Structure 1
Amino acid sequence: MTVVTERAAPQPKPDIDPEPKTLPELITFGFVVGAPLVALAVAVPMAWSWGLLSWIDVAIGFVFYVVTGLGVTVGLHRYFTHGSFKAKRPMKIALGIAGSLSLEMSVLDWVATHRKHHKFSDKDGDPHSPWRFGTGFWAITKGLLWAHMGWLFETHRTNREKYAPDLVKDPDVIRLHKLFPTLAITSLVLPAVLGGLITWSWQGAATAFFWGTVIRIGLLHHVTWSINSICHVFGDEAFEVRDKSRNVWWLAIPSFGESWHNLHHSDPTCARHGALKGQIDLSAGTIRIFEKLGWVYDVRWPVPERLAAKRLG
C-alpha cells in the first residue's frame, strides 16, 4: 500500500529581511541626512559673501544632479521597480550605476522598499506613509517628518526576496548591490577630483566637493523624500487612487516629473507620470530619447482610454 504524505505548504516570506541594517549603515544615513542640512546653512554666505562658487562648481553639481536624479527616477523607479520599459543590458547596467550613485540605497533595497510602499500605500505596512500616526495636525506633522526621512533609521530592511524576487535572481543587479559601497564612495569623491583637475587647485577640489557632492546629494535626497511626504499630503488629485497620492506642480522640475504622483499611483507601470496638458515630465522625455536611440523598448506609454477611465470628474 502506498502511503501518501502531505507536503507542508510553503510559508509566506516575512516583510522584514533577515539581514538587519548595520550600525555603519545607520551612521551613514545620519551623515547623509545631517551633513547637507548643515551645508545648506552655510551655502548662501559661501556663494555670495565669500565668493566660493564658480561656474565649474555649478556645472559639476548640475551634471551629477541630473545623472543621479535620472538614475533614481528612470532607473530605480520606472525601470527596476515598475518595469515601465525594457532595457538592453548595457542600458540596464548604466541605469543601475546612475541610481546607485544617488546614495539613496542599492538597487535591490530601493526596489524592495518601494514595491512594499505601493502594496500598502498609506496603510499599515507602508514603510514611509505620512499618515502613520493619524490625521490630526500634530499627527500629520510628525508623519511628514517620518515619511520624509525618519523611516530611514528603522533598524530592519524590507525583505528583498519577497518584494524583489526577480532582481534577487538577476546577476547584474546582485553585482551592483555588492558594489554599492564602492559606487557610493565614487559619488562622494569624483566631483572633488574633477574640480581639482579642472582648476588644478586644492580650493577647486574643495568647492567642487561642497557643491557637487554635499549640496547635490542633499538637494536630490530631499526632493526624493518630498515625493514620500509632501506628495502624500498636499496637492491636487486628478485620477482615482486607493491612497492619498497627489500632484505637486512646483516639484515637477527638480524631481524630473516624479511629483505628478497621483497618476503614478493610479497606473504604476506607466512610463509617463505627467500625462496631462502642461505637466512637464523630464524622466518620460529621457525615456523617449532612449527609445528612439534603440536602447530601451516595449515602453508602456499612457493609453488615452485607460486615462479617461481613471480620470476624476
Structure 2
Amino acid sequence: MKFLRYGEKGSEKPGLVDTDGTLRDLSGIINDIAPETVASLPDKVKSLDLATLPTVDGKPRLGPCIARPGKFICIGLNYADHAAETGAEVPPEPVIFMKATSALTGPFDTVIKPRGSTKLDWEVELGIVIGKESRYVEEKDALSHIAGYCVINDVSERAFQLERHGTWDKGKGCDSFGPTGPWLVTPDEIEDPLTLSMWLTVNGHKYQDGSTRTMVYGPAFLISYLSRFMSLQPGDIISTGTPPGVGMGQKPPVYLNDGDVIELGIEGLGQQKQTVRDYDNL
C-alpha cells in the first residue's frame, strides 16, 4: 500500500494511492498518518473496498508522508562509494546524527537556502518509518518493526556542517532540509530494500545514479543498532545515507543556488521535485 498526506501545510489529510493510481481520501478512517496511527493503518485499510473511498480531484499539494515524527535520525557515510568520493573511510560503526523535526517538509515543497549558505547540497536517501516501539531489537526481528519506506532528500549545508565546528546537525536541520515522501510504502511492496535503484538530478543533469546495494549497514542492522542507544517509537524516521554523486563530491564541487530544480526518486517509492529559493527571496 502507498499512503500519503495531501492538502495545505498544517492541514493535510490522510490518503492512499489505489491500485489504478487514483488518489483516495482516508479522512473517514483516520485523522492523520501519524505516530499514533501508522502501525494500525494497513490492517484498517485491508478490509475496505478501496473503490468506496472518496476520490481526490486535481493535483493537491502533498505533505510529508508521516506527521509529527518524534525523531528524525540520519546515518552518515553509509554507502561505500559515497565515502570514497568524499575522501572518508567507511566507519567501523554507523555514524548517527539528527535532523530537527522542523526540517520535515513535503516532497514538492520549496527548499529554502538559508541566510549565510554558500555550500547547499543534495542527498537522495532511503527512508524508514518505524511502526512499533523498539528497544534492543535483534537484527533478525528488525524488519518487522518497519511501518514503511519512503524517499528522503537529506538537504545539507556543507559549510554549516563541516566548517562551523561541533556536530553535523547545524548543517542538516534547517527549515525545509527534509523533503519526505511522496508516499509511505508498506514493506509488503518492497521485496528487498537492498536492491533499489536511486537517482537525483539538478537542472536536468543526473548527479546521483546509485543503488541501495552499496549500502554498508542495511535497514535491519540499523534498527537493531539504533535501538541499543535510544528507544525507537512509531513514526520515527531513519534516513539511511546516500550513494555517490553529491555536490561536495564533484570536481570542482557544485552547490545549489536560487532557482535550481532538484528531482530525485527511488525504485518503487516514487519521486520528488523541489525548487531552491533564497530565504530572502521567498
TM-score w.r.t. the length of structure 2 is 0.24
TM-score w.r.t. the length of structure 1 is 0.23
Structure number with higher helix proportion: 1
- If asked which structure has higher relative contact order (CA below 8 Å, sep 6+), I would say 2
